[in-house]
Structure 1
Amino acid sequence: MESHSEEHATKLLQAQTHVWNHIFKFINSFSLAVELSLPDIMHKYGQPMPLSKLIASLPIHPSKTCFIYRLMRILTHSGFFSQHNGIENEQEVIRYELTDASRLLLKDHPFSMTSLPQAILDPILVNPWFQFSTWFTNEDPTPFHTQHGMTLWDLAGREPKFNHLFNDGMAGDARLVSSVMIEKCKGVFNGLESLIDVGGGTGTMAKVIATSFPQLKCIVFDLPHVVADLQGTENIKYVGGDMFEAIPSADSIMLKWILHNWNDEECVKILNKCKEAITCDGKVIVIDMVTESKKEDDRLVETQLFFDMQMMVTLTGKERNEKEWGKLIFSAGFSNYKITPVLGLNSIIEVYP
C-alpha cells in the first residue's frame, strides 16, 4: 500500500504527464505529413507494406530515411496505420496497413479529408492562435481579426490556394454527411418538393440529395461570386444572394455548418429569413453540432470542444448545446424542433414554423 508521500508523488507525476501531453497535442496534427502521401503510397502497394518498401517509395532525401520509422510509430499509435511484425529470412520485418482513418486521407477517396489538415494547419489559421491571450485584452471580434485585420471570408477571397483547400475540404465533408444522412434519415426529405441549400457552395450536398430524390427541386444559394459560373441541371439551380437580406421561397431550407459560424444575434437574423422563405407546412433542416448530447463519448466531446475553440478564434460563432439551440429557434419565431443525433459529430435539427 502506498504511503501518503508516495501517493502524492504518483499524482504529481500523473499531472505532469497530463500537462506535457496537452502541450504536445499539436504534434499529432503536424505528424500527419499529408504532403508525403503515405496513405496513397500504401494503398497503391495493395497489401501490408514493408517499412523498407515504404521508405524506397517516398520522395525524401536519403539522409531522412532513418526518420520514417519514428514517424510511422506515432501515426500507428494515433490509429492511422496498423503495424505487423514478422520474420523473413531470419530478419525482423515491419509492415504497415491502412486503417479507416488513413483511408479518409486517400486523395481519391470519395469522402477524402486530405485538404482539411492542409487548410487548418496553414499559417493563415494557425497564426491567430498566437494572438489568443492578446485578444482577451482588446476589442477585436476574433483573434483571427487581431492577426490578419480582416475576417476569414475576406482573407479567403484574397488567398486562392487556401480558399481552394478549404472549399475542397468542406466538399468532402458534405459528400460524407449527405451520404450517411440519406442512408439513415431518408424520412427527412419525404413529402418535400423544393429545397434551398443556403451557403451550399458548389452544390456538393445538393447534388447527392437531388440524385436520391429526383422529384426534389434544389436551389443552391450562396454569394454571387461563389455561384456565378456554375451550371445547373434539371433539378438543381444556382442562385446568388445574401442570406441576411432574403432567401428564395421553398418547402424546406437546409443550413449545413452555417449557423455555427455566426453569433446568436446573427443566427436569429438568418433563421428569421428562413422562416419568411418556407411554406407554412415546410421546415428548416439544420446540420450542425449539438454539444453535450453524447457525454459518454470522450473523443467525440473533445472534438466538439476543439471545434468550438476554433470558432472562437477564427469566427464569431460557437458550437451549441440543445438549450442554446432551442433559444435561437424560438427567438426566431419557430414553434418546435426535433434533434436526431445520427451524424457522428453532427446532428440533424428539423425546425418547424
Structure 2
Amino acid sequence: MASNNVLKASEIFEGQVHLYKHLYAHAVDCMSIKWMIELGIPDIIHNHGQPISLSKLVSILQIPPSKVRGVKSLLRYLAHNGFLQIVRVHHSTEEKEAYSLTSASQLLVKGTDLCLAPMVEAFINPSMARVWSHLKKWTYEDDITLFDVSLGSNLWDFLSKKPEFNETFNEAMASDSQMMNLALRGCKWVFEGVETIVDVGGGTGNTAKAICHAFPNVKCTVFDRPQVVEKLSGTKNLTYVGGDMFESIPKADAVLLKWILHDWSDKDSKQILENCKEAICDKGKRGKVIVIDVVMKEDQDELELTGLKLLMDVHMACLVNGKERTEEEWKKLVVEAGFQSYKVSPFTGYLSLIQIFP
C-alpha cells in the first residue's frame, strides 16, 4: 500500500468503492431485511414450495407496475447479501429468473420453530437507529451508555418503563433461545448429574422448557427481573422467580448464564459470578456455572465470524458498557471471581459453552 501522499489512482478508486459501499448500505442492509419480512416474502417462497419468479411474486403481492423494477432491485441486492438465491427455471418455452430461500432467509419464515423474525423486529426500529446517531456525544460522556446519552436511561430501565419495547425485546430473546436450544440437543452431557438449575436472565423460559423436556427429573428455575416473570406460570418442574442477580441468585446444582455476562463490565460480571458461586456451593455441595457467550478468536475464526463478533463487541461496549471477551479475559474473570477451573467447548457458530467450577 502506498503512503497517503502518493496513492495510485487505482488505490484511490478502490478506497472510494469501499467507502461508498458502506455509505449506501447504511440503512438499506437492515431495512431491506425488514421489508422482506413485512411483505412476507420468505413465507410466500416457503409456501410456494419451489423457486418463485418475479412475475409470480409481484402478482401475489399485488405490486403496482411502477414499483416492479424497484422490487426486483431489492430482491437482487438481498440475493447478493445471501438472503435469497437466484436460480434459472424453465417455464413453457422460456427460461426465467427465480428466487429461492437461503439458510439465512429460512430463519425468517414465520410459524417455524427456528424463526428469528422477532430479532429483526427488535433490532431494526426507529428508536435503535436514533441511538447510534449520538456516538460522538457518547464518546466524551464519562462512564455512561449510548442509551443513557440518547434516551436518558440505560437499556434495562428503558425496557422497564416501556412495556411495548420490553415485550418486543423478550420475544426477540425467546426466538434466539430456540437457536440455543438446537445447540443444547448436542450438549446433553453438560446437564448430567444436575438435579436443579437456575437460568439467570432466562426471560420467558424457552431454554428452561427445553431443558425440562430433555431432562424431566431436573427442576428448573427461571430467574429474571420481576416485570419479566410476574405473569408467567410454571409447571411441575419449572418455576419462575423474580429478583436481582446482583443481590443474590437462588440455590441450585448449576447456574446457567446464557448471553448474560457480555452485557456487563468486568466489575459487574465478577459480582454476578460471585453470586453464582454462592448459589452452587450451598451446604458443602459444589456445582458449576454454565456460561453461553462469545469467545473472541480473531486469529482462528473465519473473516465473517470475526466480523460478527467485532460488531457484537461494539454493540456491547456502546449500548450497555459490556464487552465480548477473549479466552484470556474469561480466564482472568473466572479466577478473580474465586473459581478454580473452567472448560471452553464449541456451541453454536458464534457462541461457546464455558463450564466454570468452584
Interval of TM-score (by shorter of Structure 1 and Structure 2): over 0.9
Alignment pair present for 1:289 and 2:291: no
Partner of residue 117 from structure 2, selected from 114, 118, 133: 114
Q: Residues of 2 paired with 1:60 and 1:171: CA distance?
A: 33
Alignment-derived partner of residue 30 in structure 2 = 29
CA contact (8 A) 1:179 1:208 kept: no
DSSP 3-state at the match of 2:133: helix
**1-side partners of 2:68 and 2:52: how far apart?**
16
CA contact 1:181–1:343 (8 Å) conserved in 2: no
2:135 aligned partner, one-letter code: F
* Cα separation, 2, equivalents of 1:214 and 1:86: 49
Residue among 131, 136, 140 paired with 1:137: 140
Aligned 8 A contact 2:160 2:227 in 1 = no
Q: Which amino acid aligns with 2:331?
A: G
Which piece of structure 1 moves more, 273-282 or 86-95? 86-95
Q: Could you tell me which residue of structure 1 aligns to residue 80 of structure 2? A: 77
Distance (whole Å) between structure 1 residues aligned to residue 91 and residue 64 of structure 2: 27
Aligned equivalent of 2:160: 157
| Contact 1:182–1:209 (Cα < 8 Å) also in 2 | no
Q: TM-score, normalised by structure 2?
A: 0.92
Measured against aligned partners, the alpha-carbon deviations of 1:96-137 in whole angstroms (never above 9, x if no partner) come to 111111110011121111011221121222211111012112
Question: Which residue of 214, 232, 235 corresponds with 1:233?
Answer: 235
Task: Tell me which residue corresponds to 1:46.
Answer: 49
**Counterpart check, 1:247 vs 2:249:** yes
Shift of 1:17: 1.8
Distance 2:333 2:63 in 1: 52
Matched, 1:94 2:58: no
The amino acid across from 1:12 in the alignment is I
Deviations 1:126-172 (A, max 9, x none): 21111101211223511221110011122223333332222112111
Mark the CA change 1:140 to 1:264 in structure 2 (over 3 Å): closer, same or farther: closer
Q: 1:278 to 1:49 in 2, by over 3 A?
A: same
Please report how far the alpha carbon of residue 90 of structure 1 lies from its aligned counterpart in structure 2 after TM superposition: 4.8
Task: Return the match for 2:336 from 299, 309, 331.
Answer: 331
Matched ranges for 1:203-242 at <5 A? 203-242=205-244
CA distance in 2, matches of 1:37, 1:76: 16
In 1, Cα distance between equivalents of 2:308 and 2:25: 13
Where does structure 2 lack aligned partners over 5 or more consecutive residues?
1-5
Q: Which amino acid aligns with 2:15?
A: A
String of CA shifts for 1:276-334, please: whole Å, max 9, x gaps.
01034310000000011663411111001111111122112111111111111111101
Asked whether the 8 Å contact 2:173–2:203 carries over to 1, the reply is no
Work out the CA distance in 2 between the residues paired with 1:15 and 1:65. Answer: 33
Shift of 1:222: 1.0
Query: In the TM superposition, what whole-angstrom CA distance separates every residue of 1:167-208 from its partner, at most 9, and x where no partner exists?
Result: 11211111111221222x211111111100001011100000
**2:205 partner amino acid:** G
In structure 2, the partner of 1:300 is 305
The 1-side partners of 2:193 and 2:310 are apart by 36
Asked if the contact 2:119–2:176 (Cα under 8 Å) also holds between the matched residues in 1, the reply is: no
Distance 1:295 1:61 in 2: 49
What per-residue deviation string (whole Å, max 9, x for no partner) do you get for residues 262-288 of structure 1?
A: 111111110110000103431000000
Q: 1:13 to 1:192 in 2, by over 3 A?
A: same
Find the aligned partners of 2:299 and 2:223 in 1 and give their Cα distance: 32
Q: Distance in 1 between matches of 2:101 and 2:329?
A: 40
What 5-or-longer segments of structure 1 have no aligned partner? 1-5
Q: Distance in 2 between matches of 1:329 and 1:255?
A: 13
Cα distance in 2 for partners of 1:47, 1:294 equals 40
Q: Could you say which residue in structure 1 is the equivalent of 2:3?
A: none
Q: What secondary structure is seen at the aligned counterpart in 2 of 1:44?
A: helix
After superposition, where does 1:243-282 map in structure 2 within 5 Å?
243-279=245-281, 280-282=285-287
Name the % identity. Answer: 42
What is aligned with 1:3?
none
**SS of corresponding position for 1:136:** helix
With over 3 angstroms needed to count, the CA separation of the structure-2 counterparts of 1:125 and 1:59, relative to structure 1, is farther
Q: 2:189 matched to 1:187?
A: yes
Is the Cα contact below 8 Å between 1:339 and 1:348 reproduced in 2?
yes
Distance in 2 (alpha carbons) for counterparts of 1:40 and 1:282: 44
Distance in 2 (alpha carbons) for counterparts of 1:59 and 1:158: 40
TM-score between both structures, scaled by the size of structure 1: 0.93
Within-5 A mapping of 1:339-350:
339-350=344-355
Paired residues, what number? 347
